[in-house]
Amino acid sequence: MLKKLLSSLLVVAFAVCFCGCDLKRPQSDESEKDSRKYLALDTVIDITIYGEHDDVFDTMEEALDDYEARLSVTEETSEIAMLNKSGGEYKKVSTDIYNIINSAKRVHDMTDGAFDISVYPLVKAWGFTTDEYKIPDMEEIERLKRNVNSNNIMLDPDTLSVRLMTGMQIDLGGIAKGYISSKMISSMEKSGVESAIVSLGGNVQVLGTKPDGSAWRVGIQHPDYSDCYIGVLSLINEAAITSGGYQRYFVQDGKTYHHIIDPATGAPAETDIVSVTVVTDKPIDGDGLSTAFFVMGTEKTLKFLDENPEYKAVILTKNYDLLVSKELKNSFEVSDIMSDANIVYF
């Protein structure tokens, strides 16, 4: 069983019904829908499905349980923990884990190493896996950095085996949720579901439209006010995946240290981005990319998006610029709370 099944009929937080700020309350719809909320994968998971699909919720719960058991870095028996202990040997993994690592390597290549699952020992050294935060000394950072390089993760597609270089450890937390949401949505589709939305922390993916044919409305959280949105996306068969330093951080001596590590420095990324949301029909890439964009900062991200127009983004910068892909102009409604922001469509 999952750690906790919180409720069987909760209003889904991400479907914008009410936020206490200035966003409009969407018209209520009469169609039957059911929502469930779970705590798994270190985050709150919300699923809403239109129609009678109790059995689908059961399947989803089992799947989440199973992913958690295989992906957890702290659970001794998980596939990832076993890999991290495998000391330079090829280790057979399940198809899911193989696929996620394969995607992670692809995003690593696409982003010139800004996304790197082998940054895990540094995430640990900064205390983000245990919430016992600390600033590691430079010597430790330099030592741990030496093993960070996803090019040294070898994959054997014939045997579904993975080899980590000795001393290397990985964590799929920056990309697995995109993979899991896409698997959940395709499994629902196979079970006859036509209209659904899943949210795993900052990863939201929608299936189809709402029963009345309208798009799903997905709020992008305001970094400073957890019950407000910087704006609302209208999505059909797409995902919106957000990364931001505000999601997990600690403050020491007046300085904020967040959970996204720049593999080049071994420290929390020095970035001009506060929050970045990737909108895409490729949620796995989108999850890796949103983490990478945060590391890369605005300039490199805009160049990337110019060269890869299949990905769209909403970026909030420290200068209070709100940078929005021009393709989203008609599907992103900026919240009134952002009236002081400099809104730029690129």
Cα–Cα distance between 289 and 303 in angstroms, integer? 13
Site string (167-196) toward Mg ion, x via CB under 5 A: -------x----------------------
Write out the two tokens for 331. Answer: 């599907």
| Residue 261 site contact among ligand AMP, Mg ion, none (CB < 5 to 8 Å, cut-off depends on kind) | ligand AMP
Is 173 or 231 the residue whose CB approaches ligand AMP more closely?
A: 173
CB of 28 to ligand AMP, least distance (A): 32
Is 131 or 299 the residue whose CB approaches ligand AMP more closely?
A: 131
Site string (285-314) toward Mg ion, x via CB under 5 A: --x--xx-----------------------
Decide: 235 and 342 in contact? Cβ < 8 Å. no
Contact range with Mg ion by CB under 5 A, out of 4-12, 50-58, 283-291, 293-301: 283-291
Chain residues that interact with ligand AMP, rule: CB under 6 A: 115-117, 119, 123, 128, 171, 173-174, 202, 243, 259-261, 263, 287, 290-291, 295
For 6-71, give the secondary structure using H, E and C: EECCCCCCCECCCCCCCCCCCCCCCCCEEEEEEEECCEEEEEEEECCCHHHHHHHHHHHHHHHHHH
Cα–Cα distance between 168 and 32 in angstroms, integer? 49
Cα–Cα distance between 64 and 35 in angstroms, integer? 16
Is 72 or 335 the residue whose CB approaches Mg ion more closely?
A: 72
CB of 84 to ligand AMP, least distance (A): 13
| Residue 96 site contact among ligand AMP, Mg ion, none (CB < 5 to 8 Å, cut-off depends on kind) | none
Supply angle C-alpha 126, 132, 134, rounded to 5. Answer: 40
228: which DSSP letter? -
Is 163 or 258 the residue whose CB approaches ligand AMP more closely?
A: 258
